[in-house]
Amino acid sequence: MNYADFGFIRVAAVAPVVSVGNPRGNAREIIRSLQKPSLQAVSLVAFPELCISGYTCEDLLFNQDMMQQCDQAIHEIASSTAQQIVVVGAPHRLSDGRMVNAGFVCQHGRVLGAVPKIANPNYGEFYDKRWFVSGEDIDLIVDHPVLGSFRMCSEQLFAIGDSQFAIEICEDLWHPIPPSSSHVLAGAELIVNLSASNELVSKADYRRDLVRMASALGVCAYLYVSAGPTESTKDIVFGGHLLLSENGSVLAESDRFEFSGSCLVAEFDWQKLRHDRVRNNTFAAARRPQGYYKQGKTSSIELPQLQRHYPAHPFVPDDEHEFAARATEILKIQSTGLARRVMASRSKTLVLGLSGGLDSTLALLVCIDALALLAKDNKDLVVITLPGPATSGHTLESAHKLAQAANAELLEIPINASVQQHLSDLGHGGEHDVVFENAQARERTQILFDMANKTAGIVVGTGDLSELALGWCTYNADHMSAYNVNASVPKTLVKYLCRWYAKHRADNALSEALIRVLDTPISPELVPSDSDEIAQETESIIGPYELHDFFLYHYLRNGFSALKIYHLALLSFDGKYDAATVKKWLSLFYRRFYTQQFKRTTLPAGPKVGSVSLSPRGDWRMPDEADVSELLAQIDRF
């Protein structure tokens, strides 16, 4: 397995131990760092701004011996490189008498190119203009006796496998129009920032946000490497802050203030970034800069193992505090959307079918919040449970307990007789087939809509995003509503939301009712059992929802191939599902996702709560007749 084939590139940021004013010693330290086992499978290693001389060597930069040693140090580092790309910061005197602060890109034993710093700070503790000129207008072919021939220009892209990167230096990131804004539009998927940013109270938070937002604005990966505490501390202290961010998310971050040096190794995914750029029409439509040069040609270093972690439940934050904020926000979006729909339709009631299952339970909680927003009480909530031939006593009791705990009156309308009459009219023989199952679902929907007419209300839908992706709903039955509050909430998130509500918002009675629902197997309850137990368990029929939600997220949000999703699932669910199981349910996911699009084409309205949605009016437009046969054949060959 080579994960580089899936777009992953491993990169590293290193804040080495620096000997201020000793370029040759710094070169030896950098070369020693590159020989560490942790950096052997890394395609690019970046070192801080002016790490060859030391950022804090000040007027020593005017000395001829110092500059010659810097050139020799760069040469020694470049000579030590092979396939791996090494980026180091160093001062450099141009032949016309100017001096620049530059990042040197080294590979295959030579200097590929150099990028001069554009924004030289000259305020507060910084006075870079004492030594350096801006590289904004510099575009030179340097023919150097020690370093060889290379281009000195900020408008350069460098190959890194099938991707490309560009460089900006420290203050360039703080500039109102940072060079990276042009770099990314020219095609850079990775920005490497060589920095020497000192530490102040709260500056790390500010810096982290700058890096994170730069990666979001550029729809790129951003590798940030800053000088460490072995720089001079005469007036300021450096922490060695190292960061890798990808399209607005911090993937990895180092500790600071490490006297022995610090190292950060992580992977970014250029395939994901290209997908995000294609989907983002604003980025795609922006005017591209002219005059960029592309340097080098290389293949990615193989990655037999992946360090990057993909959570098994991508819709659910791992951090409890983050999830609490997310849950509050989701419920607020759902309830606000429903309340606005009530206002627009001048409806008097909300009509909800309560089954005692997870989805309708979440919809009940949303209805309660929506009524509170409208300054209405729960008497305007018409809750109906509709037991049929396959309804278990357990779920029927759960529906009653939920309604009672929510202070909502529950109307119980059995559908056995009406379903039997309907099947008899059809000449149905009594088999427990799809006609039998769907007749129950459609009878329930008919009653709910008729009750909405009677009470001047609207039917609140309950089906979740996972069911819509799989088409696990009856067309023109539970598939239909006046407004579906769960339309973009996946099943794994439904569970967590109900559990969070039980723990943080519900009183004892409602909490107990919610836990009872959570402990009940997921079932459509459309086939009777010989006992009072649940006869159908959904996940034994269509597979684990946590797998399907994983597939759905990476298919829609990241545009990953089936093979890439398969291998990431093996990593994320290692020890829980074997390869045969993942393959089986992945095949079913694709088959159902493609063949059930006709149900999604006619979906009712519902609020979008996250980055993944299947609304036919918004995020997902797909022909009902799309052919999935080749994809399924490909999965069979895994």
The 10s digit of each residue's pLDDT in 497-511 is 999 999 999 999 999
CATH class of the region 320-542+605-610:
alpha beta
Confirm if 326 and 504 have CB atoms less than 8 A apart: no
Closest CA to 623 of 596, 604, 605: 596
- The third-level CATH classification (topology) of the domain covering 10-295 is Nitrilase/N-carbamoyl-D-aminoacid amidohydrolase (3.60.110)
Strand partners, 159: 164
Q: 560 vs 47, 164, 222, 249, 565, CA distance in Å?
A: 32, 20, 21, 18, 6
- Write out 224-268 in H/E/C secondary structure: EEECCCCCCCCCCCECCCEEEEECCEEEEECCCCCCCCEEEEEEE
Q: How far apart are CA 446 and CA 384, in angstroms?
A: 12
Ranges for all domains in the chain classified under CATH 3.40.50.620: 320-542+605-610
pLDDT for 535: 63
Active site residue 583: no
Instruction: Pull the structure tokens for residue 432.
Output: 């427990």
pLDDT for 527: 84
Instruction: Pull the structure tokens for residue 123.
Output: 């305020």
Ranges for all domains in the chain classified under CATH 3.60.110.10: 10-295
Closest CA to 166 of 139, 189, 141: 189
Element (H, E) at 142: strand 139-144
Confirm if 50 and 89 have CB atoms less than 8 A apart: yes
pLDDT for 528: 83
pLDDT for 296: 87
pLDDT for 534: 66
Q: How far apart are CA 250 and CA 246, in angstroms?
A: 6
Q: Which residues of the chain, if any, have pLDDT below 70?
A: 530-535
pLDDT for 531: 63
Which candidate in 117, 401, 491, 583 is catalytic? Answer: 117
Q: Which amino acid is at 516?
A: R
Place of tokens 């459309």: 526
pLDDT for 524: 80
Tens of pLDDT, residue by residue over 526-557, are 888 766 666 678 999 999 999 999 999 999 99
pLDDT for 300: 77
pLDDT for 542: 95
pLDDT for 532: 64
Active site residue 503: no
pLDDT for 404: 96
Which candidate in 29, 49, 267, 443 is catalytic? Answer: 49
Tens of pLDDT, residue by residue over 119-146, are 999 999 999 999 999 999 999 999 999 9
pLDDT for 530: 67
How many C-beta atoms surround the C-beta of residue 415 within 10 A? 20
Which candidate in 70, 106, 170, 473 is catalytic? Answer: 170
Q: How far apart are CA 156 and CA 431, in angstroms?
A: 70
Q: 99 vs 93, 139, 505, 531, CA distance in Å?
A: 4, 14, 63, 86
Active site residue 106: no
Instruction: Pull the structure tokens for residue 484.
Output: 């579906």
